[in-house]
Structure 1
Amino acid sequence: MQRIRAFRARSTPDRPAPLRRAAAPAVAALALLLPATLSGCAAFGGERSGIVVTTNILGDITRSVVGDEADVTVLMQPNANPHSFGVSAQQAAELEEAELLVYNGLGLEEGVLRNVEAAEQAGTPSLEVAAGIDPLDFAEGESAGQPDPHFWTDPVRTGEAVDLIADAIVEQVGGIDEDRVRASADEYRGEVEALHAEAEERFAALPEERRKLVTDHHVFGYLADRYGFEVIGAVVPSGTTLASPSSADLKSLSDAVRDAGVPAVFADSAQPDRLTRVMAEEADLEIEVVPLFTESLTGEDGDAPTYLDMARYNTGAIADALAE
């Protein structure tokens, strides 16, 4: 049987196109029957096997949805940086042999993008999750106007991602019990909705003048939009940790922090916080540097081994730090 090859759609200046378009018109017409963010083809003759997921956050969500119905391989190790992690030659081959590739997209997995594109061109069905949940654009900094990939800080959008992943699994992975996958997805989405309710309650207790966020890079735009926070700025004025601030950037942020009376700066627990502390010292104020789990889960012995654990920890840490 002829293999259908999927090609990456050209991006517009505003945002990358989530739909992967096939070359032949007949295949393009067939693709319209699939979810907008899903692409590629189903497994042919048993050549493909299992689900491969790039980030450990999406890996945890995918495993919660699929249960023991299919094997799930997660590429990103605990405490890794999604902007900089890479894959081995063996993992790259697994991408091309999967029944389904689930990745965050919108530029998050900078070190794996070429492998994702190679897998798509080899015909691997793929789901770019962040492109399918009404993404926001970065509002400021070097990434202003570009789509923000950090959707998981908003549990409502994470619930939408659960449905996208469940749909993709049902469409693309053979030999599964669809009813069990749908039931698992419904149960997990209920847990995510409970998470949102808890966050609403905790953050509602904060007076408006306390709902101000300063982070190590622009990672909480979705949380701010959902729960009514003002983003004062970020130590690295970009949506990626691979950028670097200038002295003028740090001075500008320290002035903004001083003017806003921000009591705490939030930094990723897995990343060095030297620049964050330099900025705090520049502001010449008593500012607490609070570690959060922003872009990666921890191992089982850490405080954020699952997405639900991570989100609850961050909600509590933000609410406690800004209430003082």
Structure 2
Amino acid sequence: MSPRRKHTPRGVRRVVSLLLALTTAMSVMACTGTTHSRQGVVVTTNILGDITRAIVGDEAEVTVLMKPNADPHSFGVSAQQAAHIEQAGLVVYNGLGLEEGVLRNVDAAEEAGVPTLAVGEQVNPIRYATDESAGQPDPHFWTDPQRVHDAVGVIAEQLISNVDGLDEAVIRRNAARYRAAIEELDTEMGLRFDEIPRERRKLVTNHHVFGYLAKRFGFEIVGAVVPSGTTLASPSAADLKSLADTVRSTGVPTIFADSSQPDRLARVLADQAGLDVAVVPLFSESLTEPGQGAASYLEMMRANTEAITTGLRQQN
């Protein structure tokens, strides 16, 4: 005689069925990201990373993809970092074509529904006027403190709108404090640059990176060793000769090279110009490790201001 099957009350079976259905639904929602809690912030460049951390404070984790002393035009991300981008509460990136090695990852995150912010597009970008990049938007807005001042407000609003768990009052207070620091920086830079005679405010750099600074503080961009807005381009012999002739005719005393890039081309140009032209490094597109001169945006801009002022006040 077979053992009698124990009878399960209908009410219990119904509860079990509901629990199983609920568990399945929650698993599906987790897989599709429906229950994704937007708490982390991913930032592409280390300059924007420093600015964003100043705004966020201790309210959320901020992950910066670009390492110190790297080139924003060419750095890439690992598979793990790419996955992290697609799980972020907000992706903050420069835009305007700067991060050429990670834009596809940012685009993929956006397609997956992750909120993204192209900061450069929100701060009235200018366009290159000459050379290979003429007509294209210039992504190097951070060389103008006033535009960074505007960017702080844009980033703060997007953080409040998209990242879960933030205290809005704290974010706004941090943003106001940092904007005050930017205003102080802008004033300091203006006063230092006023020490350079107007006729000597001429810039030659390793590539076109200081257009915003020139516009803000009244400099003339004489030219660039690499006649492009990206370090991935290369100058021809004709480019070097043309710029050397310009350097010779204008009497530019200093050529500025990015600290994260070799200055060989700038030194070749100095030799071709036939003048005693100094080659001075600037922290133009990347922050450094602490203790190396540009560990924060504010430190970087003050260091560059000093280097430019000293370099252009000297006589050939």
**1:60 correspondence with 2:50:** yes
The corresponding residue for 2:182 is 192
- Map 1:63-82; keep pairs closer than 5 Å: 63-82=53-72
One-letter amino acid matched to 1:210: R
- Residue of 257, 260, 263 corresponding to 1:267: 257
SS at match of 1:265: strand
The corresponding residue for 2:266 is 276
After the TM superposition, which segments of 4 or more aligned residues of structure 1 sit over 6 Å from their partners?
none
Percent of matched pairs sharing the same residue: 63
SS at match of 1:52: strand
The corresponding residue for 2:134 is 144
- Residue of 121, 133, 137 corresponding to 2:111: 121
Q: 1:56·1:297 contact (CA, 8 Å) conserved in 2?
A: yes
Supply the distance in 1 between the matched residues of 2:291 and 2:247 (Cα, whole angstroms): 34
Supply the distance in 2 between the matched residues of 1:184 and 1:49 (Cα, whole angstroms): 18
Residues 186-245 of structure 1 show CA distances to partners (whole Å, capped at 9, x for unaligned) of: 000100110000011011121111100000000000000000000000000000000000
SS at match of 1:199: helix
SS at match of 1:280: helix
Q: 1:47·1:97 contact (CA, 8 Å) conserved in 2?
A: no
- Residue of 75, 95, 100 corresponding to 2:85: 95
The corresponding residue for 1:164 is 154
**Which protein has the bigger helix share?**
2
TM-score (norm: length of structure 1): 0.86
Supply the distance in 2 between the matched residues of 1:180 and 1:114 (Cα, whole angstroms): 33
Q: 2:90·2:159 contact (CA, 8 Å) conserved in 1?
A: yes
Residues 136-158 of structure 1 show CA distances to partners (whole Å, capped at 9, x for unaligned) of: 00111100110000000000000
Supply the distance in 2 between the matched residues of 1:106 and 1:176 (Cα, whole angstroms): 28
Q: 2:74·2:99 contact (CA, 8 Å) conserved in 1?
A: yes
Aligned CA distance change for structure 1 residues 210 and 63 (closer, same or farther; 3 Å): same
| 1:44 to partner: Cα distance | 4.5
Q: 2:69·2:288 contact (CA, 8 Å) conserved in 1?
A: yes
**1:298 correspondence with 2:306:** no
| 1:312 to partner: Cα distance | 0.3
Q: 2:39·2:165 contact (CA, 8 Å) conserved in 1?
A: no
Q: 2:128·2:136 contact (CA, 8 Å) conserved in 1?
A: yes
Supply the distance in 2 between the matched residues of 1:60 and 1:177 (Cα, whole angstroms): 19
Q: 1:98·1:124 contact (CA, 8 Å) conserved in 2?
A: yes
TM-score (norm: length of structure 2): 0.88
**Structure 1: runs of 5 or more not aligned:** 2-42
SS at match of 1:187: helix
Supply the distance in 1 between the matched residues of 2:112 and 2:268 (Cα, whole angstroms): 47
- Residue of 141, 145, 164 corresponding to 1:174: 164
**1:111 correspondence with 2:101:** yes
Q: 1:53·1:102 contact (CA, 8 Å) conserved in 2?
A: yes
SS at match of 1:142: helix
**Structure 2: runs of 5 or more not aligned:** 1-24, 26-32
Supply the distance in 1 between the matched residues of 2:275 and 2:74 (Cα, whole angstroms): 32
The corresponding residue for 2:238 is 248
**1:317 correspondence with 2:280:** no
